[in-house]
């Protein structure tokens, strides 16, 4: 039987998607060839790329004037590409909200190319909350934030107002809840948390913001290159794009992002309800900032968790060990994780409490 997969990333994908992907590795589109051994320029693969882009536009209601790209290098390369494309060569300055490890890495890269103002940071409390009430300078090239902090289990429930360009790393909650794309100028997300296998990065960028940094941008790092070549400047990660397309189809079939958001809310309510009720555990993130994707929790002082660890493993649960920087447990409830898997974990937590 398939495990209840709580892995933080790469992570669970819909079972039907994996089945169809497996079949296509052997025989794609009735071609008697593998998806992995045909040209990315064949009409069969171009149709995959086109459908993936069209589904992102449809599911996220991407307005006119934005390009949807499937790139490589993960979100980590976006940490570099964003400042290359948006930070002015002369006197470049950007503002970053620091909400965790990934934000910190993005800041580090941006600092190579210009001045970075850290508008606020929650490092003082091990990134267990989302800072609020900070002000964003006006003389900046762009503002950058991270919508969901995968490691610390916090999520921005709203985004600050600013007249500057707004950039967001949505790697770990893309397509999990409704987002008004028009509120952002650039959104990026590594595929491997809610969309598909590792290897592809989704970028949604407003065309008119490009070409203004005054930098000599290496071709590969220039979004304009990839827009011009429709994500086929070089060989795209065909498997990752294909499986992402299947996952997007699956998301559409269950009712799209609005329906997904309801299911994700139900899963989060169920698990956080138990974390708060159970006398042996407590949540680490500030309640109002809790992530619906990654729930971090610890056992109270003096609780011996060895038996709990045996119990959840015996129940077929996988991947709830916390990240080393928080410890304890982290249950990642990405789109493809069914409510029944959350119930299975809650059942184990309740049985453990009664011991």
Stretch that binds ligand PLP, among 14-22, 73-81, 127-135, 160-168 (CB under 6 A): 73-81
> Which of the following is catalytic: 88, 102, 206, 267?
102
Say how many C-beta atoms besides its own lie within 10 A of residue 328's C-beta: 17
Q: How far is the CB of 238 from ligand PLP (least distance, A)?
A: 17
- The single residue among 45, 96, 102, 242 that binds ligand PLP, judged by CB under 6 A, is 102
Q: How far is the CB of 31 from ligand PLP (least distance, A)?
A: 30
Is 269 part of the annotated catalytic residue set?
no
Q: Does 7 bind ligand PLP (CB under 6 A)?
A: no
Q: Does 296 bind ligand PLP (CB under 6 A)?
A: no
> Which of the following is catalytic: 88, 166, 193, 206?
193
Stretch that binds ligand PLP, among 108-116, 165-173, 312-320, 334-342 (CB under 6 A): 165-173
Cβ proximity to ligand PLP: between 67 and 150 the closer is 150
Residues 6+ apart with CB under 8 A from 206: 65, 66, 184, 185, 186
Q: Does 75 bind ligand PLP (CB under 6 A)?
A: yes
> Which of the following is catalytic: 88, 141, 166, 169?
169
Q: Does 237 bind ligand PLP (CB under 6 A)?
A: no
Q: Does 190 bind ligand PLP (CB under 6 A)?
A: yes
Stretch that binds ligand PLP, among 23-31, 137-145, 169-177, 324-332 (CB under 6 A): 169-177
Is 141 part of the annotated catalytic residue set?
no
Q: Does 70 bind ligand PLP (CB under 6 A)?
A: no
List residues near ligand PLP by CB under 6 A: 9, 74-76, 102, 146, 150, 169, 171-172, 190, 193
Q: Which residues are catalytic?
A: 102, 169, 193
């Amino acid at each position: 039987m398939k495990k209840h997969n709580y892995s933080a990333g790469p992570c669970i994908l819909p079972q039907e998607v994996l089945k169809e992907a497996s079949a296509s590795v052997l025989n794609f589109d009735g071609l008697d060839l593998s998806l992995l051994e045909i040209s990315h320029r064949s009409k069969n693969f171009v149709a995959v790329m086109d459908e993936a882009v069209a589904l992102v536009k449809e599911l996220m209601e991407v307005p006119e004037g934005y390009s949807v790209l499937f790139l490589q290098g993960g979100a980590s390369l976006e940490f570099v590409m964003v400042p290359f494309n948006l930070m002015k060569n002369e006197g470049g300055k950007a503002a970053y909200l620091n909400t965790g490890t990934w934000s910190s890495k993005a800041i580090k890269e941006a600092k190579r190319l210009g001045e970075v103002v850290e508008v606020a940071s929650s490092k003082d409390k091990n990134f267990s909350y989302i800072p609020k009430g900070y002000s964003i300078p006006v003389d900046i090239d762009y503002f950058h934030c991270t919508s969901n902090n995968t490691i610390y289990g916090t999520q921005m429930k709203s985004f600050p107002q600013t007249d500057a360009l707004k950039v967001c790393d949505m790697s770990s909650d893309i397509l999990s809840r409704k987002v008004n794309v028009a509120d952002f100028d650039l959104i990026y997300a590594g595929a491997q948390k809610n969309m598909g296998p590792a290897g592809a990065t989704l970028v949604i960028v407003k065309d008119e913001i490009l070409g203004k940094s005054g930098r000599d941008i290496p071709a590969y790092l220039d979004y304009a290159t990839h827009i011009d070549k429709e994500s086929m400047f070089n060989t795209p990660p065909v498997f990752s794009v294909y499986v992402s397309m299947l996952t997007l189809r699956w998301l559409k079939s269950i009712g799209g992002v609005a329906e997904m958001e309801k299911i994700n809310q139900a899963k989060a309510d169920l698990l956080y309800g138990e974390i708060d009720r159970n006398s042996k555990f407590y949540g680490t993130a500030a309640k109002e900032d809790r992530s619906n994707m990654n729930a971090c929790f610890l056992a109270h002082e003096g609780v011996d968790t060895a038996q709990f660890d045996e119990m959840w493993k015996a129940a077929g649960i996988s991947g709830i060990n916390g990240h080393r920087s928080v410890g304890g447990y982290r249950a990642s409830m990405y789109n493809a994780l069914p409510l029944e898997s959350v119930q299975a974990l809650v059942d184990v937590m309740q049985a453990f409490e009664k011991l």
